[in-house]
Amino acid sequence: MNEDLKVNLSWLPQDHLEASSPENVSTAVSSLIPVVDPEPELIVNPWDIVLCTSGTLISCENAIVVLIIFQNPNLRAPMFLLIGSLALADLLAGIGLIINFIFAYLLQSEATKLVTIGLIVASFSASVCSLLAITVDRYLSLYYALTYNSERTVTFTYIMLILLWGASICIGLLPIMGWNCLKDESTCSVIRPLTKNNAAILSVSFLLMFALMLQLYIQICKIVMRHAHQIALQHHFLATSHYVTTRKGVSTLAIILGTFAACWMPFTLYSLIADYTYPSMYTYATLLPATYNSIINPVIYAFRNQEIQKAFWLICCGCIRSSLSQRARSPSDV
């Protein structure tokens, strides 16, 4: 009964409440004010969760490739060194995405932000440069087929690795050394704390490397077609067999280049035209496909390779699949 009285009392007009005893009214009103739980806030950005998940997958996948190449002494040819460089760069990029997620929500500071963004920029730069180096190596292995397996090629490969990792590390150190927008937010790019100029230089550099890769793959495609035609003439293959082999090689090159462009081009172009005032959702939507490139790289460059497949099966179960040991290399395997 008292409860009903209190409920009714809460809905009384103001003048009636004033006529009542102040003490009773105060008690009644205070007892009837509903305790409304605050609406739960979204603490973690779902986009950050997706990026962290992508980083985890990148790290696990590329760690396998790095482990295979590191443990197998037979995988020391220039091609495998470059594939290992690509896998190591993608592995560091995945670790950078995970660390960025942890620091963003557990240890927020300007220093950690600069370190994580520097690691991510350096890793992805090394990844893209490694892709370019692999393209150069493939071109040289076809154009200079007779002299490719020489000490000069190994030396050239080490020089490429030193240059690409040196340049990538320097690029990653730029935000830490002071080229950032922490003191002047108006100069920020879509990726804080990178400056707009820094992002523009990275984007233009990517476009130049993509143009060079496109030109090299066009030349590779011509060489593959010529080699396939010569092999067909030497072994008296049918024209249809030559066509199928050539088409397979061209399709492989198109997949490699198309995947690379589809993953990186949206974020590259967006970084050129946008700045910190644009909605962050657009940045996440274009950056996420770029991380997918590091997921796809091991599939395209490592797990399709016969020697790496053999080493993988040896590590897993101590055996080699018969289909791997009997398969011959064709001109389409580029």
Measured distance CA(22)–CA(17) in Å, rounded = 8
Digit-by-digit pLDDT tens for the chain (334 residues) are 444 444 343 333 444 434 444 445 444 444 444 444 444 454 788 999 999 999 999 999 999 999 999 888 888 888 899 999 999 999 999 999 999 999 888 887 888 889 999 999 999 999 999 999 999 998 888 888 777 777 788 899 999 999 999 999 999 999 998 888 888 888 889 988 899 999 999 999 999 999 999 999 889 888 877 777 677 676 655 555 545 555 666 677 788 888 999 999 999 999 999 988 899 899 999 999 999 999 999 998 888 888 888 888 887 776 555 445 444 444 335 5
Contact 167, 130 (CB under 8 A): no
Measured distance CA(173)–CA(154) in Å, rounded = 29
Q: Rg of the Cα trace of the chain?
A: 30
Would the CA dihedral through 99, 101, 104, 105 be positive or negative?
A: negative
φ/ψ (deg, to 5) at 188: -70, 150
Q: How far is C-alpha 113 from the chain's CA centre?
A: 18
If you average pLDDT over every residue of the chain, what do you get? 80
pLDDT single digits (tens) 214-246: 999 889 888 877 777 677 676 655 555 545 555
H-helix segments, 107-178: 110-143, 151-173
Measured distance CA(130)–CA(146) in Å, rounded = 24
Would the CA dihedral through 278, 280, 281, 283 be positive or negative?
A: positive
Contact 275, 190 (CB under 8 A): yes
Measured distance CA(125)–CA(273) in Å, rounded = 20
The pTM of the full predicted model, rounded to 2 decimals, is: 0.79
* DSSP string of 260-277, one letter each residue: HHHHHHHHHHHHHH--TT
| Tokens, residue 76 | 């020391």
pLDDT single digits (tens) 83-102: 999 999 999 999 999 999 99
Measured distance CA(104)–CA(155) in Å, rounded = 42
H-helix segments, 174-279: 196-234, 239-273
Q: How many CB atoms lie within 10 A of CB 329?
A: 7
Cα angle 324, 325, 331; round to 5: 70
Measured distance CA(145)–CA(5) in Å, rounded = 97
Cα angle 263, 66, 81; round to 5: 85
φ/ψ (deg, to 5) at 332: -80, -10
Measured distance CA(15)–CA(249) in Å, rounded = 89
